[in-house]
Structure 1
Amino acid sequence: MIRTALPADEPILRELDRVTWSTLHSPAPAPAADRPFELDGVLVAELADGLAGYVKLGQALPLRSSEHILEIKGLSVAPEHRRRGVGRALIGAAVQQARAAGARRLMLRVLGHNLGARELYAQCGFEVEGVHRELFLLDGRYVDDIWMARSLT
């Protein structure tokens, strides 16, 4: 079941962020264990054994003139639930929620070396719209930042 995150989910989501963080997924530093997890715009996948993952939606830019575009600001699936359709279900729910909010487009950013995520996003209708070559230096390698989007109309 996909649902809106509740305050009681916060410690679980904070821990999920901590255990799934890697330079394959994020150019940002690893999240501190005591840093609160921001619940605004978060949908969670809840299975019989607990939370399996989340997707976070937000405004692409803090400008009134771009309110029609939303962005997937984060997607994480617990390692034991990967390759089972959880990520695809979360993306589908994000698309539905963005449409319900009146968005015309949904965008996201993904690291160039994260081939699994790029393939999943492409299968869900996202297309590459831009590449910032070698934007990040991660683990001694330069990594591209890829911008992808899909129409919601």
Structure 2
Amino acid sequence: MALLLLACGTPEREATVPSPTAPVTVPNAGNAPVTAPDAGTNTSVETVNQDTRKLIGQAVTVSGEVEEIVGAKAFQMEDEKIFNNDKVLVINATPAAVPITEGKDVRVTGVVREFVLAEFEKDYNLTWDLDVKQKIEAEYKNKPVILAKTTQVIE
């Protein structure tokens, strides 16, 4: 038991040169309350959308496909299921070192929060133009968003 606890407390080392599949660490910005551990509960985009109230403030790990890039700090992600239209907005505190492009499969670990545009603009210095702000707010107001701590492209 003591060895197990000791192994759990060992910090992971981060690579200095990311490979195409290496996780990209996204630091906390400003005063945003991101307290995600290194790995969250494996879940799906569908579950994040259906169980939002239960998952608010919780760390999750979600795999899916990048549907649309919303800017340098955000993208929409959908489940890998073919006939599923569920998607979630993912916000990175800083642009990822590994390029995130539409159609790529990714694994995101972060904290689920409810989308409130004013808070995210302030906390993450989002520089979306007015059209993007209106589109995203209309689509995601009071819906879940994942504040990504790590984003990994899956090859």
Higher relative contact order (CA 8 A, sep 6+): 2
- More helix by percentage: 1
- More strand by percentage: 1
TM range (shorter): 0.3 to 0.5
TM-score (norm 2): 0.32
